[in-house]
Structure 1
Amino acid sequence: MKSIPTAFVGLCVVATTVAATPESAATGKPNVVLVMTDDQGYGDLGCHGNPILKTPELDKLHAESVRFTDFHVSPFCTPTRAALMTGNHPGVTGAFRTSSGRTMMHPDEKTVAHLFADAGYATGMVGKWHLGDNAPHRPQDRGFQEVLWHRCGGIGQASDYWGNNYFDDTYERATADNKQGAFEKFEGYCTDVWFREGIRFIESHREKPFFLYLALNAPHGPYHVPPEWVKPYEGNKDVPNPNFYGMIANIDHNMGILRKRLDELGLAENTILIFMTDNGTSAGAKFKGLDSEAVVGYNAGMRGKKSSVYDGGHRVPFFIHWPKGGLKAGKEIDTIAAHIDVLPTLAELCGIPVPDVYDEDGISLKPLLDGKSLDRKHHVVQYHGGAHGKAMPPGPLAFSTVLTERWRLVNSNGQFLFDIEADPAQRKDVAAEHPEVVERLRGLYDPFWERVSPRMTPVRIDLGNPDELRTTLCSQDWRMEKGNPPWNFGAIRKLPKVTGPWLVDVKQAGRYRLTLRQWPAEADKPVVAVRAKVEIAGKEKEVAVEPGSKGVVIELELPAGPTELVTYLYDKQGRAGGAYFTEVEWMEDL
């Protein structure tokens, strides 16, 4: 395993295997380490019955933890993260899709990092954020004091550092005191880097309570991993994607390293360690359509995969381990629980009051952890549009599931009722036999829609924010009404053929310099266009593109306030597409 030449800014502590008594132990405040993987489903674990995939470290954690066996998240990346951070339904936060200007939370949404920072905890975030790349939406803007992250929704997506491919990549480091941050190059495989940097954060803050959000981009595609992790699964016809399994095996190995280090530092007993995933499997099985059962591979007997509102799309592992708090020894809880419950649960376990400003939809699961009952009647899972859907559902109940412990009212290409206790694979629609149940569950949906729909409104990116006076906008955040804008390295390699608006908020009036690029600045490639134009705040300016130019500069005086920015790059035939990247820099006051 290669070493990393850089460490967290200011983290010069050299850890030893003999630790002093940490403040968290002296005060009784537990530490928190929340590990979330990306696109790993419920069936992608040996302890959940997978007959091929080997996950000994996660199996051990499973055996030593309290497990929620009916735990639900959103069907895909961004909404799960928004709910996890805020305790609110994704639609309430404003971050309910994975691109198209709908990955950012409303600025008034407070996060679990704010909560713990205000309570005196050191807060750190490592890995995948996927809740906005620009102020005021970055992790360092949202309560995390130390951050090492990749932009966008995955390594190799459009706003990620150009050329990143999971190996020896460049990531952004920032702190609460230096929110602008800086890019640093790291040696090694991405998952190894995230765990090593997470451990560095723990070592640096072991003398006081800390909250670490370790959000892995693996095993999200593209499915890259060192070959030694793939070898055990190659050539097996029952393994749909050997690289996907290898990525999980690597995660498992790193979980063992993390737990060992916590133990060496004397922190394991009083650290709340959570393992969970963000949605159903993406490549652990093959399916005949989004909502089918697995035809190759293992999906724990569930129907549906990532992006499905059937259980396979949103029922995921959730292990919580805290020996000092009595959370150990393999207890199982089958009551419905969800991502929106994590914030209130952690707050109560750590003795942190939650101010009313959080207004969370979730409830604390502590009564269940204490062996008591919980008044949880139902939960709603909603898929709010996507690459082939509308910005919002066409109406109530579209692409949703209303869950109770017995029933699932599924709305996906029709409406179906399943008795999940008798039919966990969701094969038999029993709506005709139980019309009263259908009617009752439909009624439970209405308050949910009334709660989320008013908040599914545009969220804007700041221009001229003092914490980011020079911001780089990426086409993945064009607010399109249908489909997705160019959002990955493959899409931005093509000549621009479409454009869309960035919804922005000019925070201070003044003169701004806009630099339009076809490629990110670090790619060092020319713009293939003859003319360029911008439209913003009722202003329009067009300029000629110098041959070989790598960035087209346009300066404008802009008033403060919300507006839209649209860019155009014209070819010789007059066809236009948007600048995939536009740097906006505040120059001076008017």
Structure 2
Amino acid sequence: MGPRGRHLPWLPLLALLVLPPPVRAAAARPNFVLVLADDLGFGDLGSYGHPSSATPHLDRLAARGLRFTDFYSSAAVCSPARYGPAAGRERGENEKILNERTNPEAESQPSRARRVSQGPCQNLTCFPPDTKCFGTCDQGVVAVPLLWNQSIVQQPVSFPELVPLYGRFCREFIARCARLRLPFLLYYASHHTHYPQFASREFAGRTRRGPFGDALAEFDDSVGQLLQALRDTGLDNSTLVFVTSDNGPSTLRMARGGSAGHLRCGKGTTYEGGMREPALAYWPGRIAPGVTHELASTLDILPTLAALAGAAPPRVALDGFDLSPLLLGTGKSPRRSVFFFPPAPDPLRGPFAVRLGKYKAHYFTQGSFHSDTTPDQACHGLTPLTPHLPPLLFDLEADPAENYDLLRGQPGPEALQALKDIAVLKDVLQQRLHFGDSQMSKGRDPSLQPCCSPGCSPKPSCCRCAPQ
């Protein structure tokens, strides 16, 4: 499929890198498979406690690999969360990083064509044979295209056929690298389980969790296929597989929005449910099975992979740390703190919250429409920005749900010292961060909407094409 003459299917959301040969002779370098789910909550996997999720491949990976309990995304919403693992830096350190606002319309800006929720949902099929996507999206914009590099090959995309195409590409890519004996990085940024959910015929209507569960089961199967491809090519013992999510669940969608488990709130907030994610690391013979309570973040992915590949890190100051000692059982995580930025950060307030060790201080809190419908009003979109002086202080080991502010009682000397140390960390960070302008605040340009027939009329309804 794809452009004429190519055998590989279309690839809008897979990043591939064949690593260059080493400069001097060295032991064979590992391969890397990085899988990033979309809006998957801390409590959505069976291995993280969900009683009815059908995730056998991920649960088996968790049992045979390293499962993280305190792993964080670098942001609470989709677009900036993808910057963290790619750059290893906090968002404010890139002058052109996207500031994504906490309102439901931000999920479907025309300039963000990768969003599965963009386009008129009633014109999109999410489940075979012809079940339309649930809900409504922006009207008067083009439908979601499917891209091969920079070429549109289908518009609107056929969601029930999408993940099988991704899977075939991944398997062929792994087989080709194995045949040529080339080390590689495969970055699979899945659409699942973002709203509106979809699934192929094999998974539609097959789970106890409804459409969300069907999408989750297809995601789980896609990970299983990657693992099988590594086994089939004899690369499983030389490949690190890492699976996590970009941010917490969109509880606005209720049963279609995922679960944060026992954590507070979800997507769009700086509470634990917005940024603490499931994370699994698997490397047979190198990573011992187990559970770690060490702090880690998507910011740590870049420096960790660079260290394991024997590559020089970027020539910029990174906010991430090399986790290879933790993964390989030779040491602990060097990470001691986590900063929680809101979807639209600014230099005046800086991070809304800071975690140091087991303590977390909230200097500001704000609800998000992404986290509506839960019983907790603090999560809701109409809950305004609220400063806290003194900050709210939680012991996340004893109270991961952030229910009991220690400063309302009689905090011990350890907690009070942690609060002082957190204040210093926050000040130091804000002094060195440079915040760029929000790209979304510059408005919309309809001419930038991707259309498979650029000269057609009338737009956007004429922007429709089938694969050749």
TM-score by length of 2: 0.73
Q: Is the partner of 1:340 in helix, strand or coil?
A: helix
For 1:373 and 1:522, locate their aligned partners in 2 and report how far apart those are by CA, in whole Å. 54
Match of 2:301 in 1: 342
Question: Which residue identity is paired with 2:55?
Answer: T
Shift of 1:64: 1.2
Q: Which of 423, 437, 440 is equivalent to 2:399?
A: 423
Whether 1:183 aligns to 2:185 is: no
Deviations 1:419-471 (A, max 9, x none): 1111121111112434554333222111222233x24236xxxxxxxxxxxxx
Match of 1:323 in 2: 284
Question: More deviation in 60-69 or 337-346?
Answer: 60-69
For 2:121 and 2:51, locate their aligned partners in 1 and report how far apart those are by CA, in whole Å. 38
| Structure 2: tracts of 5 or more residues without a match | 10-20, 103-107, 129-143, 366-385, 464-468
For 1:258 and 1:8, locate their aligned partners in 2 and report how far apart those are by CA, in whole Å. 26
Shift of 1:395: 2.5
On the 8 A contact 1:279/1:314 being kept in 2, the answer is yes
Q: Is the partner of 2:113 in helix, strand or coil?
A: coil
Shift of 1:97: 2.7
Question: Which residue identity is paired with 2:395?
Answer: D
Deviations 1:12-61 (A, max 9, x none): 89xxxxxxxxx99x951111111111000111101111011121010011
Q: Is the partner of 2:79 in helix, strand or coil?
A: helix
Percentage identity across paired residues of the two chains: 26
Residues 223 and 285 of structure 1, relative CA distance in 2, 3 Å threshold: closer
Whether 1:526 aligns to 2:458 is: yes
Whether 1:218 aligns to 2:192 is: yes
Question: Which residue identity is paired with 1:213?
Answer: Y
For 2:310 and 2:448, locate their aligned partners in 1 and report how far apart those are by CA, in whole Å. 49
Mapping 1:122-141, distance limit 5 Å: none
Greater RCO (Cα-Cα under 8 Å, separation 6 or more):
2
On the 8 A contact 2:67/2:291 being kept in 1, the answer is yes
Question: Which residue identity is paired with 1:172?
Answer: L
Question: Which residue identity is paired with 2:90?
Answer: H
| Structure 1: tracts of 5 or more residues without a match | 14-22, 101-129, 134-150, 175-180, 288-295, 386-391, 459-476, 481-499, 503-514, 529-547, 552-590
On the 8 A contact 2:42/2:259 being kept in 1, the answer is no
For 2:360 and 2:448, locate their aligned partners in 1 and report how far apart those are by CA, in whole Å. 48
Residues 374 and 55 of structure 1, relative CA distance in 2, 3 Å threshold: closer
For 1:347 and 1:223, locate their aligned partners in 2 and report how far apart those are by CA, in whole Å. 34
Match of 1:311 in 2: 272
Match of 1:379 in 2: 338
Shift of 1:521: 6.3
Shift of 1:301: 1.2
For 1:384 and 1:348, locate their aligned partners in 2 and report how far apart those are by CA, in whole Å. 30
Q: CA RMSD in A?
A: 3.9
For 2:218 and 2:8, locate their aligned partners in 1 and report how far apart those are by CA, in whole Å. 27
Match of 2:320 in 1: 362
Between Structure 1 and Structure 2, the one with more helix by share is 2
Match of 1:505 in 2: none
TM-score by length of 1: 0.59
For 2:113 and 2:358, locate their aligned partners in 1 and report how far apart those are by CA, in whole Å. 37
For 1:48 and 1:8, locate their aligned partners in 2 and report how far apart those are by CA, in whole Å. 44
Question: Which residue identity is paired with 2:33?
Answer: V
For 2:87 and 2:360, locate their aligned partners in 1 and report how far apart those are by CA, in whole Å. 25
Whether 1:395 aligns to 2:348 is: yes
Residues 29 and 44 of structure 1, relative CA distance in 2, 3 Å threshold: same
Deviations 1:190-229 (A, max 9, x none): 2222222222222222221111111011111112234663
Whether 1:246 aligns to 2:246 is: no
On the 8 A contact 1:44/1:53 being kept in 2, the answer is yes
Question: Which residue identity is paired with 2:190?
Answer: L
For 2:63 and 2:320, locate their aligned partners in 1 and report how far apart those are by CA, in whole Å. 27
Match of 2:90 in 1: 89
Question: Which residue identity is paired with 2:299?
Answer: I
Match of 1:572 in 2: none
Mapping 1:549-564, distance limit 5 Å: none
Question: Which residue identity is paired with 1:443?
Answer: V
For 2:101 and 2:453, locate their aligned partners in 1 and report how far apart those are by CA, in whole Å. 22
For 1:422 and 1:12, locate their aligned partners in 2 and report how far apart those are by CA, in whole Å. 50
Match of 1:409 in 2: 361
For 1:98 and 1:152, locate their aligned partners in 2 and report how far apart those are by CA, in whole Å. 15
Deviations 1:300-327 (A, max 9, x none): 3111111111111111111111225x11
For 1:352 and 1:517, locate their aligned partners in 2 and report how far apart those are by CA, in whole Å. 37
Whether 1:202 aligns to 2:134 is: no
Q: Which has the larger radius of gyration?
A: 1
Between Structure 1 and Structure 2, the one with more strand by share is 1
For 2:440 and 2:252, locate their aligned partners in 1 and report how far apart those are by CA, in whole Å. 31
On the 8 A contact 2:346/2:435 being kept in 1, the answer is no
Alignment coverage as a number of residue pairs: 391
For 1:284 and 1:68, locate their aligned partners in 2 and report how far apart those are by CA, in whole Å. 26
Q: Is the partner of 1:318 in helix, strand or coil?
A: strand
On the 8 A contact 1:285/1:299 being kept in 2, the answer is no
On the 8 A contact 2:174/2:229 being kept in 1, the answer is no
Shift of 1:402: 0.5
Deviations 1:46-84 (A, max 9, x none): 111101112101001111112222110021111211011
